[in-house]
Amino acid sequence: MSAKPTANPLESLVDIISTQTALLQSLYAKNSAEVPTLDAPLQFNALEFDPELTAVRTLIVAAATHLIATVQSPLQFTANSLGGLYDNVALGLVVDINVPEILKEAGDEGLHVDELASATGVSSSYLARVFRYLITRHIFREVSPDVFAHNRLSSLLTKTKTLKEIKEEPNARFDDAPIAASVYMGSTQILNSSTAMISFIKNPQQASAPFNIAYKTSKTMFEWMEEPGNELLARVFTAAMKMNANEPTETYTRGIEGDALKPNDVIVDVGGGPGSVTSAIQKAYPKLRYVVQDLDPQIAAAKRFWEENDPEAIRTGQVQLQVHDFFKTQPIEGAAVYFLCVVIHDWSDEDSRKILTNLRSAAGAHSKLILFEMVTEHIIKDSATTPYPLQPNFANGFMTILDLAMLSFYNGKERTREEYGKLGRECGWELKEVKSGPGKLSALIFTPV
Ligand SMILES: C[S@@+](CC[C@H](N)C(=O)[O-])C[C@H]1O[C@@H](n2cnc3c(N)ncnc32)[C@H](O)[C@@H]1O
């Protein structure tokens, strides 16, 4: 698969880019389509998620990133990295003041910054500077001097609600818009908590997590979001979690293996949020029964979610929504499967042990525990598995962003396979199998020891 490590790294990188770009074009051509341009707004279609195309894109991006890191002046590279926090600030501002929705209504011709200023209530001179920052990073485009319009990347920030709906209920503006919600979180809780990270890492005894230092609270972020005044952030968090619904359903169905279960076997979605993952699994395995558990506010959101998406499942009792704190005794005993989707990464080893031990106490001899999580790996170059000279994780930064975000919120962490195995063993669960999915999550399948 890969060239010898003695090969010239620059030539290898250029070779990966040119062969994979040709492949990308031919895959689009095979589907009677062209590679989308950066200038046109994003049109969601099946090709955006095609696994073969995704693999090709991953290689191109990994090689291009590697090429930049190799040829760019280290001084310039470092200077650019220093500005990373302004990505969060600039993107957070535009989603907060509904720029993507305003530009969507303006269409291809875009809108002059003065009109944007009067529509948003934000000074045109600040807006123009934020646009220039983003456009330099290929987000939005300047059609003519001070006239801004959407492009492929900026259009992804658009919420699902219209401007009229947003005006009527501003606190609901991020509902059903997981990407805009995640961006907004990036400019609020994530950015704020990160300011306390260095202090926390140097002295972790001072608080539970950087979040607690930054927000001057001893509550967990989940408890803090229940306080009056934090309603918008709580709602944004719930909306952002729907990103997990973008994970290919196959990740979940291959983990649960519902065909091997008996009708009416019970699947418990622990810390399930609105239950969007359960919804995907339930569509694949409609003969099983499901319980979605979470804290009070999330179950309230879950009720809205199921009312809108599948009221019948609640009415017939096939899906039950249950308020349950996973630090307390698990009320459903002997379920076929207890699963936690991107929950354990929120917690330190100590807290994770409490959660998993509670599940072990409720489990029967045939119960399974499944964690849907990203699994981290060491970044040692290995040309047997990765084309030379690429990194084994293909320089995919998202996992490392999430890892540090978990640290800043809850002193949580993304873990390696070995770390998950050890954590399970300490709570009476044996890690039997890790099924890596077609998306970013893997299914870690445990059975009782
Ligand atoms: C990262 S979200 C994942 C939500 C869901 N599993 C998904 O994939 O969309 C973590 C969830 O854990 C829930 N949670 C936090 N503390 C909890 C607790 N003590 N008991 C039960 N759920 C809790 C949060 O409310 C949140 O819904």
Q: Write down the domain spans for the chain.
A: 83-158, 164-241, 247-374+414-448
Residue nearest to atom 6 of ligand 1 (CA): 272
Q: Are strands 141-144 and 147-149 parallel, antiparallel or unpaired?
A: antiparallel
pLDDT, average across residues 231-250? 87
Position of tokens 């558990």? 293
The CA 335 to ligand 1 mean position distance, Å, reads: 19
- The pLDDT tens digits of the residues spanning 333-367 come to 999 999 999 999 999 999 999 999 999 999 999 99
Question: Quick one: 247-374+414-448 is in which CATH superfamily?
Answer: Vaccinia Virus protein VP39 (3.40.50.150)
Number of the ligand 1 atom closest to the C-alpha atom of 372: 8
293 vs 302: CA distance, rounded Å = 10
Residue nearest to atom 5 of ligand 1 (CA): 272
Residue nearest to atom 27 of ligand 1 (CA): 273
Fold of 83-158: Arc Repressor Mutant, subunit A (1.10.10)
pLDDT of residue 392 exceeding 90: no
What SS3 state is found at 214?
helix
Contact of 375 with 437, CB cutoff 8 Å: no
Residue nearest to atom 23 of ligand 1 (CA): 271
First to last CA, the chain: 40
Give the model's confidence band at 5: pLDDT under 50 very low, under 70 low, under 90 confident, else very high: low
Residues within 6 Å of ligand 1 by CB: 222, 241, 244, 271-273, 276-277, 294-295, 298, 325-327, 341-343, 346
The CA 327 to ligand 1 mean position distance, Å, reads: 12
pLDDT of residue 4 exceeding 80: no
The CA 273 to ligand 1 mean position distance, Å, reads: 5
The CA 46 to ligand 1 mean position distance, Å, reads: 30
Number of the ligand 1 atom closest to the C-alpha atom of 245: 9
Can you give the pLDDT at residue 263?
A: 97
Can you give the pLDDT at residue 381?
A: 75
Number of the ligand 1 atom closest to the C-alpha atom of 343: 10
The CA 129 to ligand 1 mean position distance, Å, reads: 38
Can you give the pLDDT at residue 6?
A: 65
pLDDT, average across residues 247-274? 95
Contact of 319 with 290, CB cutoff 8 Å: yes
pLDDT, average across residues 253-281? 96
- The residue whose CB lies within 8 Å of the most ligand 1 atoms, and thus the one to mutate among 235, 241, 296, is 241
Q: Are strands 141-144 and 289-294 parallel, antiparallel or unpaired?
A: unpaired
The CA 104 to ligand 1 mean position distance, Å, reads: 33
- DSSP classification of residue 346: G
- The pLDDT tens digits of the residues spanning 110-161 come to 999 999 999 999 999 999 999 999 999 999 999 999 999 999 999 999 999 9
